[in-house]
Structures are given as C-alpha cells and as structure tokens.
A and B are shown apart, each in its own frame.
Chain A
C-alpha cells in the first residue's frame, strides 16, 4: 500500500477510536450522573422513587431550622411559597446557609414531603442565588 495512504488510515483509525471512546464515555457518564432539579411543588406532582439522587431547592423558611443539641442532625423546611419540603441532614452546614436564603440540596426523597440530603451546596457569595432558586422566586412574583 502507498505509505502515505497507510499513514492516513492509521490516523483515521486513531481518530475514530478516540471519538468512539469519548462518545461512549460521555453517554454512559451522563446516564448515571444527571441530577434533575425539583422544586417542592414539582416533588409533590412527580412520583419519584426514593433511590434516585436528585436536587431540590428553594428558600429556607424562617424559624424552621431545628438542630439536635448533641448530634449533627439538622432539619429545616424549604419552600417555593406554594409548597414546603422538610429536609433532614446530618453534618456541618456551609457558612452561607441561613434562614430566608436560597439553598440547593442534593439527596433522596424519602416519603411525601421529606427529603434526606447528602449534600447542602455552598456558594461563596451571600448575594448569590443559585439560578434554579432565582427562577423559582421569579415565577412566584
């Protein structure tokens, strides 16, 4: 075979293999690692199984934060001003977590209206609102 043609074929095979590897990886990674965002109202309207990792969010309702006095468990209510969602979490909260602030939690829906958070997401600016939450509040107004 013409050496130049042979060389082109090798390059083409490499490029094809690389692209196939990438597409395969991307598809399989996406199918496992997509976390849909739900507002408390969405969660009421959707029947979700309790073993899918999802994101939920809204505003932390004033006066709803309840800490245990001797363990790291904490419970608080997140609201989109139509419906509420009770969040249970165990661990240290980010510094910017506070009442009447927007929050996004990642975790599992347990039973109707309760959510077990495995992660409470921190943002490093207090004026910053996660776009998901900002959108919820906008819709509300």
Chain B
C-alpha cells in the first residue's frame, strides 16, 4: 500500500508542477507561488519517505528495494540505499530542485510579479520533465508481482559507507542548484531587461550551488580514496568530469555575475553562462545515466533513458538559447576599463575557466565522436590527456588569482598596484624558500611551480588585509571579505595538495607473511597476523600491521571483505592519516598459506586537497548567506 501512495504522490506532483508551470506563463497576475512550491515539496517528501519506508521494512515486492537492499544490510545503509541507485536518486534530485525553488521563492522580494512567476514557471517545468522521466522510465515503486523475492540482491558493498551516504545528496543538491541561475536568467529575459539587479539576485544562488557542488565533489573524491582501496583521489572518469565541468562553469558564472552586478557589463555573457552551466549539469545527468561512456560509476544502462534525458536536455537548452536570441533586450552600457582593471582580470578568468571546461568536455566526449566517425572503433581518452590540459590552465589561473583581490574596477592606480606586487613577490619568494626547505629534501620542478602558485594565491588573498584600512570597520570587513578570502585560500591549499601528492607519492607492492618484516620509506613494516572477522553482512580477512619509524609506532588494519549474499569482494584500506603524509596499506591477494600481497603507499599532503575543498565550500557558503541576508 505504502509504495502505491508514494507513486500516487509522484503523479499528483507531476500534475501540479505541470499546471503550475503553465499557469505561471499564462496568467499575468500574482500567483500563490510559495504555497504551490510548498505543496509540491510535501508531495515529494511524502513520496521519498514512502520509498525510505519500503527499504526500512524490507518490502522486496518493490523491484527497486529488491535490487538494492537485503535483510542483512545494517539499518543505516537500508536508509541510505534509498538513493543508492538510479531510480531513488532521481527522486532525491527532484526533491532537491524543489527545495531550491522553495528557498528561492521564500527569500525572493522582487517587485516584479512576472519575474517571480517566470522563475517559478521554469523550475516547475524542469521538475515536471524530471517527474515525467521518473514515472515513465524509472519508477522506483514498481512492484514484482505476483511472487516477490524472499530476499533482496544487496546494496553494492562499496556504497556501504558513510561518505557515500552523504556524497550523493550534497552533489545532487549542487547540480540541481544550477537550476536557479538558469531560471533567473530565462525569467529576466522574458520579464524585462536583464541588468545588474538581475545579476545581484542570481549571484547568491550561484554561489550556494557552487558551495554544494564543491563539497559534493570533494566528498566523492575522499570516498574514492579510502573506500576503493587503491589510493587515488581523482580518476578523470567521465562521471567525475561530468561534475567537474559544471563546477568550472559555475565558478566562471560567479565571477562574471560579479562584473555584471558592479559594472553593468558582461550581461549577455552572464546570461549565456547561466544557460550553459545548467546545460552542463543536465549533460552530466545524461552521461551518468545513459551508460554511453565507459565509467567506473555504474548506473543501470538503458538507452531509452538516455534518449529521454537527451530530450529534456535539448528542450531546455535550445529553449533557453532561443529566448536568448529573440527575447533578450539587453543593452550593454559602454564602460571603459583598462588592461589592469578588475574587469579585464575577470574576463581572463572567465575565458580560462570556460576554455578549460570545454577542453575537458571535449576529451570526455571524444570517444563518442571518434566512434561515430570511424565506424565503431573504440578508444579511450585517459588521465594523461586531462593532466596535460589542466596544467597550463591551472598555472595561468593561479597567477591571475594571486592579484585578483587587489586590482580595482575601471583601472588600478599603477603605483600602488606595482608597490603591492613587489611586496607580494618578496613575501612569496621568502615563503617558497622556507616551505621548500621545511617540506622537501629533494626538489623537482613541479613542486617549485606548486609551491609558488600556492604561496602566490595565499599571499594575494591575505594582502587585501593591508589594502583596506585595517580595524577601521573590522566587522564590515569580515562580512564583506571573509567569504572570498576563505575560498581563495582554499584554492591555494587545493593546489598545494594536488601538486605535492602528484609529485611525491610513492608506492610498493610486495608479498609478506605473518611475522615477516619489510622496509618502506625508512619505516619498518611488520605483518603481525591475519585474522578472520565476522561483520554484520560480510566476513573479512583482517591484516594487523605494525609500523615503526624513529618517531612513533602504530598499528594499521587492512581488510579483504567478502559480502554476502552477493559474494562481492572489497578491499578496506588501512590508512594512517596525517596533515603532511598519509600512509596507506591495501591488501591484495592470498598466496600460499597465510602470505598475502600488499600495496603500501605514501601520500604526502593529500589531506590538503579536501581541506581546500572544504574552505572553498565554506567561503562560498558564507558569501552567499551574506548576500541573501542583504537582499
């Protein structure tokens, strides 16, 4: 009964979103948009809870539950399994789009009724199309009748993990957040002349979407690192790229909206970027869920679904572009800026981010293009392509970011600008030297670039403390600048983490039996014992390993788990975490008797990557909240 109620709620939501969407465009008067969004929200939450309930009571007559759960599954993971696969995650996705809409409407205080109506209308239509997709191709409430299975197939073991339970919701929240800037842009074009007011209403929401995208991607990376057992944190997998490209575009949009808001220029560009950022997030959905690209992220593969999403994608993106071409009455105000102005700096920033996004998208889609043009020949574009591409962009963007915060609008007074550059250059040289001296025994060119860019961005972000009159109005300063400082410093930490871990990681594979000792990076590593451990829904071989160096002695456990009923084997890596170095042990295969192969890895500074992502999340979040409060 409960699954049917969930299904019916979805259908009611479908009808309501359709009526709401049409009504918003047809009726030229004030509509109870807040009420409708709220009712839509209740319907979707009700439906989502119906699905959660079916998981919690092990209702295996529901096909989706039967495929993704099992009586042995710990209760917390039964709950999280709700969004563990395609159908359930769609419900979550739609729900989060609706939450964005509700929040936007709640804080919206625009005087222009048409504007609010259109934002509401666009969101409703997108929600409608996703509901249509869910109900017709991916209904999570479908029953297996008349004979339901006695037990479920189980949740993929790599997903039985804390980070997994929070990574998808946050990522979806980020993805779907790009709906709001899109809707605001469409609505601004339809209801009047997009100008700086439009930009100031869009910017906080873009920042917020950016914040959630960052934490979502960051958590995904952290999860892959410790859960997949091979110690990588980014694989340039199509699905990762599908999240990275919208992130790049969202970051570009945040910066171009800043220009539009302050100088009333770049209007068309900001409008287009809003459309493309949303398009990229839809394209990501399409790539992930159609299975057309080889990816480690396995969702059920179904060409029909792919076609449907492609339809949604084309409708909204082409629709957006048509409105842009014919309904857009933007008048660009001529504004003069020089080469050393903030405007020009942000123009370069946008150029680099967008070109980088396009290059990454191109590499991701190239296997498809190649296959189409060579009669089905299959290729793959690997990590080296993306690393090669991103390196020069990262350096240029880093250089730009270092001076970003203290160049001014219009034109920067040349003396103070050069003065600050000199101060900065000196402080950076010192910092670089000190860091190189402290951190590394050997120097390779990549680490020099890394540390230089790190120090450059860091110094540039902190320098603004000196460019304003300090303590004159300290609270105001904190309010205005803390967000941007945090996120820029976060970027510096991220760059340092990525650079160092890519250049200085080391690894060793070996076979060892209990009682045996080996040496790795001046550490003595001893395998103490292999134990059999019984978990709630798995059995494991647990290796107890003692690591000692001249400073300390500690134990690490690494496991090889076999989950039942699926029989799937997973590796649980043993990680000794540290701010400056992670020590990572993963268990390989069993050889004769009790000897096992192990992979030992040292991952210096890897924590800084996620620390950086966390700061970016925090910084963009604070900026966004400040802006929303001011409205």
Contacts and interface: CB of A to CB of B under 8 A. Distances in A.
Interface in A20-75: 21-22, 25-26, 28-30, 32-37, 55, 67, 69-72
B375 interface: no
Interface string A8-23: 0011001100110110
Contacts of A91: 509
Interface string B187-224: 00000000000000000000000000000000000000
Interface string B574-594: 000000000000101101100
B482 interface: no
B379 A35 contact: yes
Nearest to A10: B339
Contact of B385 (A30, A67, A128): A30
B569 A37 contact: no
Contact of A29 (B293, B298, B380, B384): B384
Interface residues of B, number: 57
Contact of A10 (B293, B344, B355, B385): B344
B592 A21 contact: no
Contacts of B339: 10
A124 B296 contact: yes
Contacts of A69: 591-592
A71 B589 CA distance: 11
A93 B230 CA distance: 10
Contacts of A95: 229, 568-571
Given A25-B388, A72-B509, A95-B570, A124 B228 contact: yes
A95 B337 CA distance: 58
B432 to A, nearest CB: 26
A130 interface: yes
B597 A92 contact: yes
A111 interface: no
A29 B245 CA distance: 18
Contacts of A132: 294, 378
Contacts of A28: 388
A123 interface: yes
A4 interface: yes
Contacts of B337: 7
A55 B380 contact: yes
Contacts of A130: 294
B336 interface: yes
A92 B338 CA distance: 57
A96 B156 CA distance: 12
Interface in A108-140: 122-128, 130-132, 135
Nearest to B383: A33
Interface in B362-402: 362-363, 366, 370, 377-382, 384-385, 388-389, 392
Contacts of A21: 355, 392
Contact of B591 (A15, A70, A106): A70
A26 B588 CA distance: 37
B31 interface: no
Given A70-B511, A70-B591, A95-B569, A32 B384 contact: yes
B144 interface: no
A67 B590 CA distance: 11
Contacts of A11: 344, 347
A123 B571 CA distance: 13
Given A4-B334, A18-B355, A91-B509, A96 B569 contact: yes
Contact of B381 (A25, A33, A124, A126): A33
* Most chain B CB within a 10 A radius of its CB, from A4, A72, A95: A95
Contact of A34 (B381, B392, B511, B591): B381
A7 B340 CA distance: 12
* Most chain B CB within a 10 A radius of its CB, from A67, A69, A124: A124
B597 A72 contact: yes
Nearest to B376: A135
Given A71-B511, A72-B597, A30 B366 contact: yes
A71 B347 CA distance: 56
15 contacts: A3-B336, A10-B339, A10-B344, A18-B352, A29-B388, A29-B389, A30-B366, A33-B384, A37-B377, A55-B378, A124-B228, A124-B297, A125-B158, A126-B568, A131-B293
Given A36-B379, A95-B571, 6 more contacts: A14-B344, A26-B363, A94-B230, A95-B229, A124-B158, A126-B566
Interface of B: 156, 158, 228-230, 291-294, 296-298, 334, 336-339, 344, 347-348, 351-352, 355-356, 358-359, 362-363, 366, 370, 377-382, 384-385, 388-389, 392, 509-511, 566, 568-571, 586, 588-589, 591-592, 597-599
